[in-house]
Each structure stands twice: as C-alpha cells, then as structure tokens.
Amino acid sequence: MWETRALELNNQDIWNWSSVCNLVRYASQHGFNTIVVGQADLFGKLVSPKGYTPFHYNDSVSSQQRARCIYLNRLAMYCREQGLRFYLQAKELDFPTELLLSHKYLLDNQQGILFDVDFWSRWLTDKIRGVCQGIPALTGLIIALSST
C-alpha cells in the first residue's frame, strides 16, 4: 500500500545504542522499511562548516561531532543490515553566535536574523555536505526549513 513505512525517533534515545537497536528490531519485525532519526539542531551537533568564522572550533567539540557521526553511521549500517533505510531529519537549524558575530550584517535590530539567500544557501550546503561526508551510510536527509 505505502512505499515508505517509516518509524521516527526524535528524542534523546537516539544516543542510547540498546534503545535504538530495540527500535530497529521492532521496525523490522512490524513491516516498517525506514528509520527516521531527528533532534532539534541535529546537524549542528554533527558538523560545523569551516571558513565561516575566524574562530577555531574547540577540539573537544569537533571530537564530539566526529563521534556522533561515527555513531550515526554505525546505526545506518545496522539499519541496512536489518533491511531498513536510514534518514536524518532536520526541522530546525541553529544560528551559532560565532557565525552571527563574524557576519554582523546578518543581524537586524528589528527583525532578528536577516535571510540572506546567498549566504544561508552556501552555509546550509556546506553543512549538509559535511553531514553526508561524515555519515556515508545514510539513505538520505529530510529537511523542512522556513524563513520565518
């Protein structure tokens, strides 16, 4: 009937291996063919595109980001072994303080953050590229963004 039958996990349990493995087994046993993992600012927890700020990111932050990518890649491979597709979902993107301070024209006293299409398109493209490179076993990404 439905081509995609997805089970979504969007809480802290995505970082608990035994919990997420239980979910994958449940999905596999009950006719699902896709796992979708999402969390507020998930992409920000995975990558920080380089070249957008003069600041050097903290090594412990980049180590945590790499560890999260390795973990999610392992999860994607486990899903594949169970016959499931694996998607990451982003409904929100963060606007890091360091990024905004480095590009002050993006801040508007009346409207908050300006929507500069060229800038944000490049930044988002670089962020998505980093996620895809860091988690090569992904089936895909689900991204729902707005300019409001």
The CATH number of whichever domain residue 47 belongs to comes to: 3.20.20.80
pLDDT computed for residue 55 by the predictor: 61
Mean pLDDT of the 90-103 span: 76
Give the structural domain span for 128: 6-143
Domain membership of residue 18 (yes or no) is yes
Residues recorded for the chain? 148
Give pTM, 2 decimals: 0.85
The CA dihedral of 117, 114, 45, 91, to the nearest 10 degrees, is: -70
pLDDT at 123: 85
List of E strands, 10-113: 34-38, 85-90, 107-108, 112-113
Asked whether the predicted pLDDT for residue 14 surpasses 90, the reply is yes
Please measure the distance between the N-terminal and C-terminal CA atoms of the chain and give it in whole angstroms: 36
Total domains in the fold of the chain: 1
Residue 104: which pLDDT band, with cuts at 50, 70 and 90?
confident
Residue 148 lies in a domain: no
| Residue 125 lies inside a defined structural domain of this protein | yes
Instruction: Report if residue 85 sits inside a domain.
Output: yes
Percent helix, percent strand, percent coil in the chain, to nearest 5: 50, 15, 35
> What residues pair up with 9 in beta bridges, in sequence order?
37
Which residues does 100 contact at the CB level (< 8 Å), separation at least 6?
106, 107, 113
Q: How far is CA 133 from the centre of its chain?
A: 12
> Is 136 a domain residue?
yes
Residue 96 lies in a domain: yes
- Is position 93 within any domain? yes
User: Domain for residue 1, yes or no?
Assistant: no
Residue 97 has pLDDT above 80, yes or no: no
pLDDT, residue 81, reads 97
Instruction: Check pLDDT > 80 for residue 10.
Output: yes
Highest mean pLDDT among 36-40, 71-75, 91-95: 71-75
Angle, helices 59-81/17-29, rounded to nearest 10 degrees: 30
Confidence of residue 146 (pLDDT cuts 50, 70, 90): low
